[in-house]
Chains A and B, each alone.
Chain A
């Protein structure tokens, strides 16, 4: 009897903790969603009424639309480059033994450790120097941003693709070769499909990290060439109205949909 009650309470306590943690994570999101419909320009609780005005304001403020397109371009290109290079690196690191292998691994993962603002400043100075000596303008250009963001997409890819490669039983590849598949066919028909889940996850995470990056990009944008997170930040400097909440909500929904679609193809919980 007492044991039953103790167990009951323990389970109840566990549920309570889980609910609290979720609340803690979700409260800001819920508030953002809520605020984006407030009719008051100056955010106040409770609101006087509700409106969709801020969403149309997002559209009318061209900085957001332009920032959105810019972010989309940067994220997509950085993802493509990062996933291609990162996958090759992951294959080399997991499958081959060569001097400097551990160092290379550390080096490729290091952008995740260096604070974005520090790396961004370093890149800014570097870009200026390149412009000085080589007359090649990178600061405040798409190429410059992509180059910077590849530093973010490669580590994610290396991590996720390595993990999926490590999990592949080598004897499955041996079996393919035993059945008459040469190395390339074995990769195409066996290895690649088996690491697909890792690749999709890498692409998704690369895209999201690049899309929502603020710190690294801060110094690398210029007037008229701004990513969405920076457009939001700049807007915030002048005005705090629910437009910001509306933009954020759009961004959250977008990323959420992206994850849901991806999850239909590969179970993300299994790879990440």
Chain B
């Protein structure tokens, strides 16, 4: 059963379409992340679900109720705002109690429920503080407790981690996920940080210019991006433009003859072949060797990233590809082939046919 459904949801500001016919079903207890570059309409979509922005078209369903025309205070959503939006003139306890008061929960019940919600976010000892006396991370937790205490049907988060420092972001991220799973909360989470989205979400919605580009699990999105935009936005890809010369064969503009796993789904004629940098590998020297997709070239640039090393190679065809290799072997290990990675060295780039994904060329 789906808990939140968006049906051809649209928002226009004058002649500008910020959200363009979005269809989405969020299942009960599922965490869905809205992901996309700045200005793609994530916040607008979320605020329409919460009811702060009226939809220009389409419907919003929560549970089995059509809430499209309801004001925010009649929709049972719990929202966490980017700047936390705590009530500055109320204590932590009063902040968390607010939603219960509005729901006319009996006084005797409010105290224990507030305490329970604060215990959930490990802040039960700070109930008497004012928001300004809390650190950013603590304010964030109060905001979570305040949204959770009302037991919302949908939990909405708009970039809740973006004001935290990098370390704290990781901790709070895990905490949010654990809470969400423990309480079985149906959640829509907005972020422009793809790593955050990939690690947190059951499913992702990739948006661009108000349109949904693809909806899928992290694996689906990474391994089977639906189009050039998604392949480019999620993770990194090498893109080789060219044409499909025969089933399973791709001829790049530079003249490379590439084998790829052809399931017949991609375009015919003009296309783009996407290859993830970590799915290709490097061999020292330029021996022809045997097997598919072996292309000689020269190292142009090496970037050491700690866990991996990124190597930019100019192929004999003139095209450049990036290959990442994991630094699995210790530096002083004889198998650690550091020598062949200096700029100017001849190398051979190799990737299996299954690593190449055929996509339609991006719209010009």
Contact = CB atoms under 8 A, between A and B. Distances in A.
Contact of A180 (B87, B89, B103): B103
Given A169-B83, A171-B81, A178 B89 contact: no
Contacts of B108: none
Interface string A169-180: 101101111111
Of listed A174, A178, A182, A189, residue having the most chain B CB within 10 A = A178
Interface in B76-114: 77-79, 81-83, 85-89, 98-99, 102-103
A174 B51 CA distance: 10
Interface in B47-82: 50-52, 71-73, 77-79, 81-82
A194 interface: yes
Contacts of A180: 73, 99, 102-103, 150
B276 to A, nearest CB: 39
A23 to B, nearest CB: 37
B interface, size bucket? 20 to 34
Contacts of A179: 73, 78, 98-99, 102, 146-147, 150
Contact of B88 (A178, A189, A194): A194
A174 B72 contact: yes
Contacts of B146: 175, 179
A129 interface: no
Contacts of B77: 178
Contacts of A172: 85-88
A97 to B, nearest CB: 13
A181 interface: yes
Interface in A137-190: 169, 171-172, 174-182, 185, 189-190
A178 B83 contact: no
A193 interface: yes
A177 B98 CA distance: 10
Given A172-B85, A174-B52, A182 B71 contact: yes
Contacts of A174: 50, 52, 72, 79, 81, 85
Contacts of B79: 174-175, 178
B88 A175 contact: no
Contacts of A177: 51-52, 71-73
A178 B102 CA distance: 10
Interface in A8-60: none
Nearest to A186: B73
Nearest to A178: B79
B85 A171 contact: yes
Interface string B4-33: 000000000000000000000000000000
Interface in B263-301: none
A180 B82 CA distance: 19
B72 A178 contact: yes
B333 to A, nearest CB: 53
Contacts of B147: 178-179
Contacts of B102: 179-181, 185
Interface in A188-227: 189-190, 193-194
Contact of A178 (B50, B86, B103): B50
A270 to B, nearest CB: 13
Contact of B89 (A169, A175, A182, A194): A194
Nearest to A174: B52
Interface string B301-330: 000000000000000000000000000000
A185 B101 CA distance: 11
Contacts of A171: 81-83, 85
Interface string A94-106: 0000000000000
A172 B132 CA distance: 14
Contact of A175 (B51, B71, B81, B103): B81
A84 to B, nearest CB: 22
Nearest to B146: A179
Nearest to A175: B85
A189 B89 CA distance: 10
A169 B71 CA distance: 20
A193 B87 CA distance: 10
A194 B131 CA distance: 14
A169 B73 CA distance: 18
Nearest to A170: B85
A178 B78 contact: yes
A174 B103 CA distance: 16
A169 B85 contact: yes
Interface of A: 169, 171-172, 174-182, 185, 189-190, 193-194
22 contacts: A171-B82, A171-B83, A174-B79, A174-B81, A174-B85, A175-B79, A176-B87, A177-B51, A177-B72, A177-B73, A178-B72, A178-B73, A178-B78, A178-B147, A179-B98, A179-B147, A180-B102, A181-B98, A182-B73, A185-B102, A189-B98, A194-B89
Given A169-B83, A194-B89, 8 more contacts: A172-B85, A172-B87, A174-B85, A178-B147, A179-B99, A179-B150, A181-B73, A189-B98
